[in-house]
Amino acid sequence: MLGALYKKILVIGGNASGLAAASQARRENPDAEITVFESGNYISYGACGLPYLISGQIKDINSIFTYPPSFFEEKRNIRILTGHRVTAIDPFTKKITVQLQAIRQAPSAFINGSGLAGNAIKCDNETILLDYDRLIICSGAKPVLLDVPGANAPNVFYFRDINDTLSIQNFINEKKPESACIIGGGSTGLLIAGALTETGIKTTIIECNRKILNDYEKDITDFFHNNVTGYENKTSSEQAISGIKIMTGVKAVSFNASHTTGSIYSVTIGSCDGTVSDKFEIDAGMVIISAGITANTGFLGTGRIDTGIKNAIKVSGMQQSSINSIYAAGDCCLVKNIVTGSFEYIPTAANAIKAGRVAGANAAGGHEIFEGSVDTKTDMIFGMEIARTGLDSKKALEYRFNAVRITDTYPSHMKALPGSGNIFCSIVIDKNTRKILGAQLAGAEGVSKRIDVFAAAIAGGFTVDRTYMLDTSYSPWTSTAPDAINRICGKAISILKSLK
């Protein structure tokens, strides 16, 4: 049995992909010694819930954890070592170097790992060297750092993990800032802006691109943007999150600190084309930088394991890296885009968990394949949903599809009933094969359930004709007859006919 060869399995990273990998390795190989190294104090939490700790919509930090370390140790016989940072890997001798971290205050049920690793062959109190048969790298992503004067001030934050979240929360509770500037108008920037405005902080997002959410088509983003910033005019509960200002085509030139406190009080903004004359200043009692992420793979050293875009680890469908004994999964590695066939950086929780399962099974001697992703994403921000799957029109043309894009707006449910809103729909179709290549939707309700149908249609290679015929559900409170999904496909079929 292959599994018997892979007795010592080490996993780097104790969150979504790492714990999925460790758990699947255990299912595959009941006899393996499986150890998870986590540099932080926490394991098994949903980073996706972090914005809502700041907004106060999640009150108890313990509720964002799925399992405590004791669960993995007692129920799955997986050793969890928190406060253990892997600092180097030697694929040739099959050893990793682990540095012990200072443990910070944390919710008690979740921080206690089992202490020092038992198979250490060298220990100088701070660093240990361990050998492995199979290694699984699940080290996630890290924020892109911004090189702007003042970025080291105490009220300039990044937002990626629990420690960042606690620092932001503490700062808000203690200093009660009235204004904030978010650098970056991607979905994380928008989520954190939503959380801050929910607490009453006047928030400005600045985004260097000409539009926020740059991975969406412009008209979808415009629809979303206009609805979000129009919130002041809506009902009283919605007004609680008003005050958001979004500025595009601009960047932070400097974070301006007070000479007495060292803290930032304003941000100087300039146009992204570098024009000096149009600089201006906005108030900012705090700054949160959310300027993108890259794979957290710096500790691997250069040239030992093949990496690609954003330093993400290149893997096969079995999640195997360029080194046979090393597997990887999650935000630290590339994912195959099912539509284009190319490996891309698609960092989502679902991809991390599915790829983690495959990596774990294979590291333990199994033979499983992660087929990849159609790059599906959804966000709900300021009461508006926006979602995408597959290719946008630009990417479809880049990949030389004979692409056409069709757009329209349909009601989310029967117009006569309260709460019905518009859903802006965009689909991209390959005129040669009639297959759906991509879909993007924005609107007030039911966007993600519809994007999931498109995601399934794209992954299944459905034509627009077959997608039109899908038997979607209808009731006056939930959809129209037929649903927006069928209607946009129906329109596309008519347009394709007229193009002949």
Ligand X SMILES: Cc1cc2nc3c(=O)[nH]c(=O)nc-3n(C[C@H](O)[C@H](O)[C@H](O)COP(=O)(O)OP(=O)(O)OC[C@H]3O[C@@H](n4cnc5c(N)ncnc54)[C@H](O)[C@@H]3O)c2cc1C
* Residues that bind ligand X in the complex, under the rule CB under 6 A: 12-18, 37-40, 47-48, 50-51, 85-86, 138-141, 160, 188, 191, 296, 299, 330-331, 347-350, 352
Helix residue spans in 6-68 (DSSP H) = 16-28, 50-55
Q: What is the DSSP letter of 300?
A: G
Residue 82 or 479 having the CB closest to ligand X:
82
Residue 224 or 265 having the CB closest to ligand X:
224
Residue 8 or 85 having the CB closest to ligand X:
85
CB of 275 to ligand X, least distance (A): 33
Residue 36 or 250 having the CB closest to ligand X:
36
The rounded distance, in Å, linking the Cα atoms of 54 and 103 is 23
CB of 86 to ligand X, least distance (A): 4
CB of 48 to ligand X, least distance (A): 3
CB of 450 to ligand X, least distance (A): 17
Residue 3 or 51 having the CB closest to ligand X:
51
The rounded distance, in Å, linking the Cα atoms of 135 and 7 is 11
Residue 379 or 483 having the CB closest to ligand X:
379
Residue 53 or 253 having the CB closest to ligand X:
53
Residue 15 or 393 having the CB closest to ligand X:
15
Give the C-alpha distances (Å, rounded to integers) separating 88 from 19, 95, 129, 304. Answer: 21, 8, 9, 11
Give the C-alpha distances (Å, rounded to integers) separating 20 from 76, 114, 289, 357, 456. Answer: 12, 19, 30, 5, 23
CB of 50 to ligand X, least distance (A): 5
Over its C-alpha atoms, the chain yields an Rg (Å, rounded) of 24
Nearest to 294, CA basis, from 345, 337, 350: 345
Give the C-alpha distances (Å, rounded to integers) separating 290 from 13, 144, 187, 225, 242. Answer: 22, 8, 9, 18, 21
CB of 18 to ligand X, least distance (A): 5
The rounded distance, in Å, linking the Cα atoms of 361 and 366 is 5
Given a contact cutoff of 8 angstroms between Cβ atoms, the answer to whether 362 and 9 are in contact is no
18: helix, strand or coil: helix
CB of 356 to ligand X, least distance (A): 7
CB of 265 to ligand X, least distance (A): 26
Longest dimension (CA), the chain: 75
Contacts of 283 (CB under 8 A, 6+ apart): 178, 179, 202, 265, 266
Given a contact cutoff of 8 angstroms between Cβ atoms, the answer to whether 412 and 235 are in contact is no
What are the tokens at 180? 């904030």
CB of 349 to ligand X, least distance (A): 4
Residue 136 or 492 having the CB closest to ligand X:
136
33: helix, strand or coil: strand
CB of 270 to ligand X, least distance (A): 27
Residue 158 or 265 having the CB closest to ligand X:
158
Residue 299 or 474 having the CB closest to ligand X:
299
The rounded distance, in Å, linking the Cα atoms of 486 and 468 is 4
Element (H, E) at 468: helix 464-468
The full length of the chain comes to: 500
CB of 330 to ligand X, least distance (A): 2
Beta strands in 258-352 (DSSP E): 264-271, 280-283, 287-289, 293-295, 326-328, 335-336, 343-344
Residue nearest to ligand X (CB): 330
| Phi, psi torsion values for 116, nearest 5 degrees | -70, 150
322: helix, strand or coil: coil
The rounded distance, in Å, linking the Cα atoms of 142 and 41 is 17
CB of 12 to ligand X, least distance (A): 5
Residue 38 or 385 having the CB closest to ligand X:
38
The rounded distance, in Å, linking the Cα atoms of 242 and 266 is 21
